[in-house]
Amino acid sequence: KQGRVDMGHGAGGRAMAQLIDEVFARAFANEWLGQGNDAAVLPAPAAGERLVMATDAHVVSPLFFPGGDIGCLSVHGTINDVAVMGARPLYLAASFILEEGFALADLVRIVNSMAAAAREAGVPVVTGDTKVVEAGKGDGVFISTTGVGALPAGRDIGGANARAGDVVIVSGSIGDHGTAILSQRESLAFDTEIVSDTAALHGLIAHLLELVPGVRVMRDPTRGGLATTLNEIAVQSGVGISLEEAAIPVHPQVEAACEFLGLDPLYVANEGKLVVICAAADADAAVSALRAHPLGTEAARIGEVIDDPNHFVQIRTGFGGRRMVDWLSGEQLPRIC
Amino acid sequence: KQGRVDMGHGAGGRAMAQLIDEVFARAFANEWLGQGNDAAVLPAPAAGERLVMATDAHVVSPLFFPGGDIGCLSVHGTINDVAVMGARPLYLAASFILEEGFALADLVRIVNSMAAAAREAGVPVVTGDTKVVEAGKGDGVFISTTGVGALPAGRDIGGANARAGDVVIVSGSIGDHGTAILSQRESLAFDTEIVSDTAALHGLIAHLLELVPGVRVMRDPTRGGLATTLNEIAVQSGVGISLEEAAIPVHPQVEAACEFLGLDPLYVANEGKLVVICAAADADAAVSALRAHPLGTEAARIGEVIDDPNHFVQIRTGFGGRRMVDWLSGEQLPRIC
Ligand SMILES: Nc1ncnc2c1ncn2[C@@H]1O[C@H](COP(=O)(O)OP(=O)(O)OP(=O)(O)O)[C@@H](O)[C@H]1O
Ligand SMILES: Nc1ncnc2c1ncn2[C@@H]1O[C@H](COP(=O)(O)OP(=O)(O)OP(=O)(O)O)[C@@H](O)[C@H]1O
Ligand SMILES: [Mg+2]
Ligand SMILES: [Mg+2]
Ligand SMILES: [Mg+2]
Ligand SMILES: [Mg+2]
Ligand SMILES: [Mg+2]
Ligand SMILES: [Mg+2]
């Protein structure tokens, strides 16, 4: 039992208090978590700002993958959902479901990665929870994170705001995260290792909004990939979207891995990419703003918003053909995040 | 596969969107969730108020128990952690980890119970997430909830505020929740069914604070029970606590069940009870305020805060004896919430 999670770590007594002190509180160390009460008391957003709130459970398997692990992923993912609304992420809550027998050394590694990601992003984990389930009733560790942010007055960004004539931009290459996970899972070794793009996007977004405050839609194309994200936006905005296949950045090793695995990169999850839709007049400025930031160097204009009563997403292929790009169906990529 | 959760429900495509629409969004129906974006945009607390944030994962087993289920429990538990700080609970986020094969009918029942609890409490679920893990990697459903609330200026309630001479009060009988769960788990039938006390306490708390604004400490004695909660407070405040055993309300059927199960009610989890510590001069007013509310009819003064450099909790037993009341140790009550 030494060095492993046991049921006592979730029972609410001394063993749990010790685990929280020595692993979680030590790593996340900040004044809010240090209050040690049932809830954290925090400065509210500035006058006139609105609150923004998002949550994601993380069940990625394997827990460690090229470019990251479930810990930093759970920080990045929730920060990104707050940030794409145009909000400043302020605070994170984190709840852990540990499986009995999970190695404490792995837990420490994950929590430290999470703490490092939170510190780098400047968004502290201010409150948490720790539960333990019996061996065979969980899978190592699941982490749910919830983020709260502040949205400046007058800012209105959301999936319903796209209009015909707008331009669709992506902040970089697609398919990296999902392909990295799948390669790891299938123990595939490619010539060039595929690395997850997991990253917090609020810095990139702040830079973009400073130069192009009129951005209409932002979304992080996670589960379901770019294809599904654009379909969601098309339905929400009541428009169609037309893409240029040749313009969509895909790393050659991702292209090759997807071919090998029978996947279409358009449907593969990303964890550090941003879809931006803005007025045509703003498009060049938006692409340059993104490219000027380390997380957006491969940003590209990939299509446009069109009138379409069916709210379809379509793509112009290399040979001048066209095909429909439907929502992801089925279950091709389980437990990708 | 009909009528059961499958991996596709967590893949991020059409099946997930349909599950969210037909089960979650339909039950939680509110304008914030209806925005349908990556994060909910919400009115912020009033000027001068602070934010309060708490999170809990819920892994209770069994999922349904006398007096409640994992759904309403996950709403009550998080509302209570926000409310015991003296804050008005405003919003909930909820993330679900579903096990492949889980019956959709059970999921619907749980989500409806959660939605009813949220509606009754006036605290909407404004954002959510849905993941699915393979059969054998979860246990039906785990639910993490995060609550955000608003704390009025000047209010300072917390575990570090108890002072020697203060009075310790509990809002009602202890041990009901944990005993209800264990009876269900062991298929014990007692003469009188033991029912969980799961309830949202923010109404009771608002009523108390109106009449006794100077309350110093409030906490919900969940995992670890009353004994562990008081030990936490004793350490945080740097005091000792002395209890009167005869004054602590325990329902006779809970007493009997605990005897049968070899448990001490002091260590059994509660999900609708409140510990209050206030100045001696406020104690009578606090007890009457609690008793005047339907959730506090059995409120009682159970002990006092004393000077003790060891920060011990001790209890005076029926025969004039005294014993120490330590923190919960070990793992007597796994997966109680
Ligand atoms: N994994 C964690 N990371 C960071 N902080 C944590 C973690 N788990 C618990 N905490 C913090 O430890 C303190 C005690 O948490 P605990 O879950 O016991 O409180 P609670 O929610 O009131 O009780 P319960 O979970 O039994 O309802 C809180 O301040 C909480 O924020
Ligand atoms: N169980 C649920 N209950 C209520 N709303 C939910 C639930 N699951 C998802 N939602 C809502 O559905 C929308 C889409 O959720 P989704 O999880 O796909 O978004 P995301 O977090 O941006 O993507 P990902 O989880 O892949 O990172 C959001 O508005 C979210 O609040
Ligand atoms: Mg609590
Ligand atoms: Mg997300
Ligand atoms: Mg907790
Ligand atoms: Mg998102
Ligand atoms: Mg709690
Ligand atoms: Mg999500």
Closest residue in chain A to residue B80, using alpha carbons only? A38
C-alpha span between B233 and A11 (Å, rounded): 18
From the CA of A51, how far away is ligand 3's center (Å)? 24
Instruction: Give the SS3 label for residue B75.
Output: helix
C-alpha span between B200 and B211 (Å, rounded): 19
Token representation of residue B272 = 């609708």
Task: Measure CA of the first residue to CA of the last residue in chain B; give whole Å.
Answer: 29
- pLDDT over threshold 70, residue B1: no
Question: Mean pLDDT across the stretch B35-54?
Answer: 97
Domain span(s) for CATH 3.30.1330.10 in chain A: 7-151
* Selected residue of B6, B28, B31, B41 to mutate for chain A interface (largest A Cβ count, 10 A): B41
Instruction: Give the SS3 label for residue B289.
Output: helix
Reported as a pLDDT band with limits 50, 70 and 90, residue B280 is: very high
* Mean pLDDT, all residues of chain B: 96
Percent of chain A predicted with pLDDT > 90: 93
pLDDT at A1: 63
Q: What DSSP line would sit under B204-249, residue for residue?
A: HHHHHHHH-TT--EEE---TTHHHHHHHHHHHHHT-EEEEEGGGS-
CA neighbor of B177 nearest in space, from B139, B142, B224: B224
- Which of A114-128, B132-146, B185-199, B288-302 has the least mean pLDDT? B185-199
- Which of A14-23, A158-167, B327-336 has the least mean pLDDT? B327-336
pLDDT at A320: 83
* Mean pLDDT, all residues of chain A: 96
pLDDT at A331: 72
Find how far residue B60's CA is from the centre of its chain.
12
Q: What DSSP line would sit under B279-330, residue for residue?
A: -GGGHHHHHHHHHTSGGGTT-EEEEEEE--TT--EEEE-TTS-EEE-PPP-S
What is the tens place of the pLDDT at every residue in B68-112? 999 999 999 999 999 999 999 999 999 999 999 999 999 999 999
The torsion angle over the Cα atoms of residues B243, B249, B254 and B260, rounded to 10 degrees, is 30
- pLDDT over threshold 90, residue A141: yes
CA neighbor of A151 nearest in space, from A275, A46, A78, A54: A46
Token representation of residue A307 = 């009138």
Most informative mutation of B5, B14, B20, B132 for ligand 2 (most atoms within 8 A of CB): B20
Residues around ion ligand 6, judged by CB within 5 A, are A 81, 220; B 38
Contact residues of ligand 1, CB 6 A cut-off: A 12, 20, 24-25, 28, 33, 36-38, 94, 96, 127-130; B 56, 77, 81, 222-223, 337
Do A11 and B328 touch, CB atoms closer than 8 A?
yes
CA nearest ligand 2 atom 19, residue: B38
> What is the CATH number that goes with domain B7-151?
3.30.1330.10
What is the tens place of the pLDDT at every residue in A97-129? 999 999 999 999 999 999 999 999 999 999 999
Residues around ion ligand 4, judged by CB within 5 A, are A 56, 77, 81
- pLDDT over threshold 90, residue B192: no
Domain span(s) for CATH 3.90.650.10 in chain A: 167-324
Question: Mean pLDDT across the stretch A255-276?
Answer: 96
CA neighbor of A255 nearest in space, from A318, A331, A330: A318
* Selected residue of A1, A7, A16, A41 to mutate for chain B interface (largest B Cβ count, 10 A): A41
Helix (H), strand (E) at residue A275: strand A275-278
A167-324: in CATH 3.90.650.10: yes
CA nearest ligand 1 atom 26, residue: B223
Instruction: Give the SS3 label for residue B58.
Output: strand
Contact residues of ligand 2, CB 6 A cut-off: A 56, 77, 81, 222-223, 337; B 12, 20, 24-25, 28, 33, 36-38, 94, 96, 127-130
Ligand with smallest separation from the Cα of A35: 1
Question: Mean pLDDT across the stretch B258-276?
Answer: 96
Helix (H), strand (E) at residue B285: helix B283-291
Q: Which residues of A touch B43 (CB under 8 A)?
A: 50-51
Question: A99 forms bridges with which residues in the sheet?
Answer: A133
B7/A129 CB distance under 8 A? no
B151/A41 CB distance under 8 A? yes
Reported as a pLDDT band with limits 50, 70 and 90, residue A227 is: very high
